[in-house]
Amino acid sequence: MSVPARPSRASAFSLRMSTDPSSLALPHVTRLHAYTPGLQPTGAGWVKLNTNECPYPPSPRVAEAVRREVGADGASLRLYPNPKSSPLRVALARYHGRAENEVCVGNGSDDILNLLVRVFAGEKAATGFTLPSYSLYPVLVAIQDGACETIEFDRSMRLPVDRIAATKAGIFFLTSPNAPTGVAFPNAEIECVLRAFPGLVVVDEAYAPFAAENAVSLLDRHENLVVVRTFSKAYALAGIRVGYALARAGVIDLLDRVRDSYNVNRLSQAAALAALEDQPYFEGLVARVRATRDAQLRAFAARGWFTYPSQANFIFTEPRDARGTTGRAVAESAYRFLYDRKVLVRHFPSHALTAPFLRITVGTDDEMLVLNQTLDAWLKAPPNA
C-alpha cells in the first residue's frame, strides 16, 4: 500500500494563497479611504497655490547644514540618525521655554498626529474633531479602526465650546488657525475648551507662526494640552518633513514608546535645526507672507467676495461671478478656469460649508498678480469658457 506524498511546504503555502492575498487584510483596512493630498503638477509654468507651501526658499543655513551633514564622501549616511532627534529637541525646548522631555520630534507633524492617535484612540476611545478641518484626522482614526465624534462648524466659524465639552471623545483635535478657513481661535476660547473638555486637547498649530496668538503659553496651566507644530509652512521645509509636539513629559513619554526608533532622518534633523537657529530669516519670511496675505484680503474685499479673516498662509474666499452669484457651481467654474490656465488652487466640494469657496495659498506678489488677472478674465469670460 503506497503512502500519499506529503505536500511540500511551498505547495502547501500556494494552496493557502490560492485566493487574492489582499483578502487577508484586516476588514477595516479594506474599507479605508486614503488621504487625498493636493495636486503636485510636474510640468513647468504652473502658479502653484494649492498646498500651502511657502513661496520662498528656506534659510541659506539649511543647505549649508545639509551639505555639512552629508560630508565630502557621504560616509555619514551609512549611520543611523540620532534616534530621538536630541539636538533638535534641546533647541526646540529652549526656543519655546520648555524642558527637553516635553518635546517629541516627528517625520512631519502628520507623524506626530499619527502617534497621538496610536496612543489615545481606538474603537472604545473615540477621537473628536471639527468639520471642516484637516481631512487627515479621520483617515488616521480609521487606520486605527477607531470611532470618531465630529463637531460641525456653521458659517460663523465660532468655536462651539459647549458641544466640544459634551462629546464622549477621549482626545479632541482642534486646528488653529483652522484649515481650510484660516480662522484662528483666541487663547481665551481655547482655554475654555481645555477647562470644559475632560480629555486630551490637541491644538494643531501648523499655521500658528502667521497668526496673532498661539497656544504654547497655555501649556503651563493645562496638563491636557498638546501643541503640534511643523517646519513645513513658515520655515519653508515641506520637503524635509519635520514636525514636533509640545506637551507634559508623561504624554511625550507615551509618544516615544510608540514612535519608530529612527523616525527623522539625519538630513532632516540638520535642516530643521539650521532653520530654527536662523530666527531673523524666519521672521522676515513670515512678515513677507503676512503682508502679501493682507493685501490679497483687501483685494477680495474690493471685489465684494466674502472671505474669512485669515491668520494663516492661505485665504478662503467665496467667488462671486459677474452676475453676483455664489455657490458650489460658481466655485467649480472659477477653479476650472484657473486650472486650465495653470493657476492651481484648492476646492473642497464635499462639505456644504466649504463647497462655495476656494482655498488659495499665499504666493509671491507676482504669483498673486497672475491669480488676480486670471480671476478678472474669468469674470469677463462667457459661461462655460
Q: Which residue has the higher pLDDT, 43 or 366?
A: 366
pLDDT at 271: 98
Q: Which residues fall within 8 angstroms of residue 253, CB to CB, at 6 or more apart?
A: 101
Is the pLDDT assigned to residue 221 strictly greater than 90?
Answer: yes
Is 1 a residue whose pLDDT tops 70?
Answer: no
Confidence tier at 179 by pLDDT (50, 70, 90): very high
Q: What is the pTM of this model?
A: 0.92
Average pLDDT for residues 357-377, to the nearest whole number? 98
- The answer for residues whose C-beta is within 8 angstroms of residue 333's C-beta and 6 or more apart is 319, 321, 378, 383, 384
Distance CA 39, CA 21 (A): 31
Q: Average pLDDT for residues 182-211, to the nearest whole number? A: 97
17 pLDDT exceeds 60?
A: no
Band of pLDDT at residue 14, cut at 50, 70 and 90: low
- The answer to which of 14-28, 83-97, 290-304 has the lowest mean pLDDT is 14-28
Euclidean distance between CA atoms 100 and 110, whole angstroms: 21
Average pLDDT over residues 59-82: 96
**Mean residue pLDDT across the chain:** 94
Please give the average per-residue pLDDT across 176-195, as a whole number: 97
Q: List beta partners, residue 127.
A: 148, 171
Residues 6+ apart with CB under 8 A from 223: 248
CA 209 to chain centre: 14
